[in-house]
Amino acid sequence: MTDASRWALVTGASAGIGAAFARELAARGHHLVLTARREDRLQSLAGELRQRHGVRCEVAAADLADPAAIDALCNELGRRSLNIDVLVNNAGYGVPGHYLAQPWTRHAEFLQVLVTAPCELAYRLLPGMQQRRYGRILNIASLAGHVPGSAGHTMYAASKAFLIKFSQSLALENQQYGIKVCAVCPGFTWSEFHDVVGSRESVNKMPKWMWMSAEEVAREGVDATERGEIVHVTGKVNRAIKALIKLLPDRMGLNIVQRRSKDFRVQEPK
């Protein structure tokens, strides 16, 4: 990814993994469109990227929980005459507690952000990529999409497993157009995610060797996409965990996750 004429759109770019992907792409010469809810953070990051890397950087604040947000965002891209060749579907969060602990409206917003928005953005931007015979779509999934579901954060692993399968099909459909699609699957990553969902105290007790920085995840993710990998689990430890889970009988894997859920998922009081 070195063609400076290419524009990349990064969702959830205001912090964490999204901001790291924006920095990584800017360092490789891409112009950026940054989107998230917090415009002040986006403007700060945009200023940093312009100054450090000399790239163009546009800000388009949006709340992807709004079903109308993608249409408005794509219209804004058209108004600014920006052709997106690299899409990083990163926006996401977790809904803590058990399934019935939250109102359905909150679950519906979660699905809108983590499932519907990435699919709609890919649908809206793919025709241009196909026409230009170049494109990259990075769907930020998770190691959670490869292991059994846990108690708490009920739809998180399910949404990430969906992104993995979606990425596989999309990649196979678009190879002939010079488009590469990759589901990037981080494990535990230093970011604001665990602070937002309230699991920071629990996950901080986990060994340091299980963690990666957001910068490492972004660098691995971009490199894997360029190599043509369709699914990439970041980090040797996470790849070992995935391999081990695949070898275990389903019941044993589920029992392990059941015993350890409290270490990384917010639980409800019984």
C-beta of residue 85 within 8 angstroms of C-beta of residue 6: yes
Phi, psi of 207 (to 5 degrees): -60, 145
Q: For residue 79, which phi and psi values (nearest 5 degrees)?
A: -60, -35
Residue 234 CA to residue 140 CA, distance in Å, equals: 11
109-138 CB burial, b ≥16 within 10 A, e <16 = bbbbbbbebbbbbbebbbeebbeeebbbbb
d(CA 211, CA 199): 15
C-alpha 7/C-alpha 9 separation (Å) is 7
Amino acid (1-letter code) at residue 266 = V
Active site residues: 156, 160
The rounded distance, in Å, linking the Cα atoms of 110 and 159 is: 9
Q: Using an 8 Å Cβ cutoff, are 156 and 200 in contact?
A: no
